Structure 1
Amino acid sequence: MEHIEFAYCLNGPEAGQRIDHEDHIVARLRADELAWVHLVADHPETDPWMEEVLDFVEAPTRAALTAKSTRPRSSVQEDGLVVILRGVNLNPGEEVEDMVSLRVFLNPARIITLSRRRLKSLTEMQEAVEAGEGPQSVGGFLTGVVERMGGRIDEVLFELAERVDVLEDAVIASPDPAQRSQVVDERQEVIDLRRYLGPQRDAIGQLASGGHPMLTKHDRRRLAEAHDRLVRGVEELDAMRDRLIVLKDEIDSAVQDKLNRNLYLLSILSAIFLPLGFLTGLMGINLGGMPGAESPWAFWAFTGGLVVVGILQVWVLRRLRWI
């Protein structure tokens, strides 16, 4: 039974009790009282088990729940409601932006969830059920999961915004090419989060506005609040993405300015030493008739002339405001 991670009764006389035997799980799924089963999405036995036991779920719905690649969405089916969400990855050693997919199927008497990796929000829901504080309706379960996932997302976005603020202050104070890699890393995290939170905002918005008859007005109000939080989160991600683009441009501009200053300095030095090099080269040719070749003071006179020429060049460049 490795493909079944856990199962619980959510209402009725056995509410909050864990179901450990597979036969009991199957029986509860076929009963009228609400039961919750969580499956390992990528386990090889999950697909055959769902096909055999969940025969009340249509084949396209089962395929959507076990698909390898998913994006957040909500879909009303004849046999129930399918909701696919993404939660931030808080598993040790993994990247936060590598979001965990949670696939949920709901109808009035059954809740089936699937994921490939552990999701802290789902673990918290499991703990609440075991403590006798879990939801006793489909809408309560869905809104509880959405709110918990939204809280984790808000925490991650807050930490990300703080890092971007610190980085922005550092770049404005003293742009450094070494900061470019940090800007790229933060921007990649923003892009990865935005990739899933945008569709998730739309999916929850659909549930809040229309949803399904299983969702009460109270459920839809809670979903509307979760949707509003996601709207603000996506807007904040868009703003951070734009700020990081500006920071990268600022670093590139600072690097370009430094390069231009160095090239300008080299150009000034070249402008000064080019005539001097020409004169020394001209006077250094080994041909007869060179003026002052036999004079003991000719070298010092020529050196003095080079100094005068150099001073004159510097004066001209300053008059032209080149230096």
Structure 2
Amino acid sequence: MTQQGLITAFILDGKGGGQRVGWEGIRTWSPAQGTLWVHLNYKENESCRWIFEESGLPLIGAEALVSEETRPRTTVIGNAALLALRGVNLNPNADPEDMVALRIWVTPERIITSRERSLQSATDIARLIEEGVGPGSAGDFLVELINHLTLRIETPIEEAEEKVDELEEDVVTTSSKDIRYTIRDIRRSAILLRRYLAPQREAMIKLSTEKIPWFTDLQRLHLREATDSLIRHIEDLDAVRDRAAIIQEELISRNSEQMNQRMYVLSLVAAVFLPLGFLTGLLGINIGGIPGADNPWAFFIFLLMIVVIILLQLLYFKKRKWL
């Protein structure tokens, strides 16, 4: 439950556990008690007031924590790291590609995170701390958070891959209209996910290479592993997008082939009936001198002539390999 913008807050004990605190505990906290994690909804007035008036953050850090528009990035400011990361949106009735932004300010003594919409990865870390198996330091917290964000990206990518597998099998039998809509949704999701994951990869690479004193070599190693996983996810997204494009090209090719076949048949029919239409039109005019007007067998002779003309046309088409 939120308490006037405070989603959750813990004082870490350095052993994986922590003590949950409220606004009063945050205001009376001192670094000697342990690392403080404050998780806020920056849309609430109390959160904004605390960030700007009580947190002691520099203006650039305070503004970053309440910024509406964020792009994944890492910025080192003195002994602090300022990050903006994205996590897939797993909230009810939400599209996973509509990613949730998480703003993070980290120092060895304090971690401040802010978001607007619910983010499951932060909830997972709070649960781990309550169970006594969470992060013990600021560096561990960053690595744990990034691992959870990266892990949850797998779900929408795997779903997209399964849809592409089904489309590759059904492209010949399924309704073209249904496939077009499905392909459109898959490509849209892949493009939107990659839009944020690519800069997030760069932010993670920068974090692992920056000279941050409190970020240990072991934590850098774990971060590189998470970065490798994210790179694989991006490659999978590229593969999904390319496979969807190939399916779309195959669908367009199949539809074009079907259209060409229909136009071919119509062209043959038109070619067959063109001379017949000319003859019937010529003999159908109501003027004197029409051949056979007084002959009772003229109609049957004319039908026989039409049949002969059709046969001659078909033989000509076959000889030209049009049939």
**TM-score (norm: length of structure 1):** 0.94
Q: Distance in 1 between matches of 2:159 and 2:203?
A: 25
Q: Distance in 1 between matches of 2:213 and 2:158?
A: 35
SS in 2 for 1:85: strand
Aligned to 2:21: 19
Q: Distance in 2 between matches of 1:26 and 1:54?
A: 9
SS in 2 for 1:263: helix
Whether contact under 8 Å (1:42, 1:116) holds in the other structure is: yes
Q: Distance in 2 between matches of 1:186 and 1:13?
A: 43
Aligned to 2:302: 302
Aligned to 1:224: 224
Cα drift, residue 64 of structure 1 = 1.2
Q: Distance in 1 between matches of 2:61 and 2:79?
A: 9
Cα drift, residue 95 of structure 1 = 0.7
Aligned to 2:263: 263
Q: Cα deviations across residues 225-250 of structure 1 (Å, max 9, x unaligned)?
A: 00000111111111211111111111
Q: Cα deviations across residues 34-64 of structure 1 (Å, max 9, x unaligned)?
A: 1111110222332222111112x11011111
Q: Distance in 2 between matches of 1:109 and 1:250?
A: 57
Whether contact under 8 Å (1:177, 1:251) holds in the other structure is: no
**Aligned pairs for 1:239-258 within 5 A:** 239-258=239-258
Q: Cα deviations across residues 58-117 of structure 1 (Å, max 9, x unaligned)?
A: 101111111111111111012511111111111111111111111111111100011111
Q: 1:12 to 1:124 in 2, by over 3 A?
A: closer
**Aligned pairs for 1:195-214 within 5 A:** 195-210=195-210, 212-214=212-214
SS in 1 for 2:321: coil
| RMSD (Å), alpha carbons | 1.8
Q: 1:309 to 1:132 in 2, by over 3 A?
A: same
1:65 aligns with 2:61: no
Aligned to 2:51: 50
Cα drift, residue 27 of structure 1 = 1.8
Runs of 4+ in 1 over 4 A off after TM superposition: 12-15, 29-32, 172-175
Identity, in percent, stands at 40
Aligned to 1:5: 7
Q: 1:68 to 1:307 in 2, by over 3 A?
A: same
Q: Which amino acid aligns with 2:77?
A: Q
Q: 1:283 to 1:78 in 2, by over 3 A?
A: same
**Aligned pairs for 1:162-173 within 5 A:** 162-171=162-171
Q: Distance in 1 between matches of 2:269 and 2:111?
A: 78
Higher mean C-alpha deviation, range 149-158 or range 109-118: 149-158
Cα drift, residue 292 of structure 1 = 1.0
Higher mean C-alpha deviation, range 3-12 or range 33-42: 3-12
Whether contact under 8 Å (2:16, 2:134) holds in the other structure is: no
Aligned to 1:291: 291
Q: Distance in 1 between matches of 2:303 and 2:43?
A: 85
Whether contact under 8 Å (1:175, 1:251) holds in the other structure is: no
**Mind listing any 5+ residue stretches in structure 1 that lack a counterpart?**
none
Aligned to 1:238: 238
Q: Cα deviations across residues 235-283 of structure 1 (Å, max 9, x unaligned)?
A: 1111211111111111111111111111111110000000001001111
Q: Which amino acid aligns with 1:48?
A: R
Q: 1:276 to 1:78 in 2, by over 3 A?
A: same
SS in 2 for 1:17: strand
Q: 1:238 to 1:13 in 2, by over 3 A?
A: closer
Q: 1:185 to 1:293 in 2, by over 3 A?
A: same
SS in 1 for 2:85: strand
Whether contact under 8 Å (2:171, 2:179) holds in the other structure is: yes
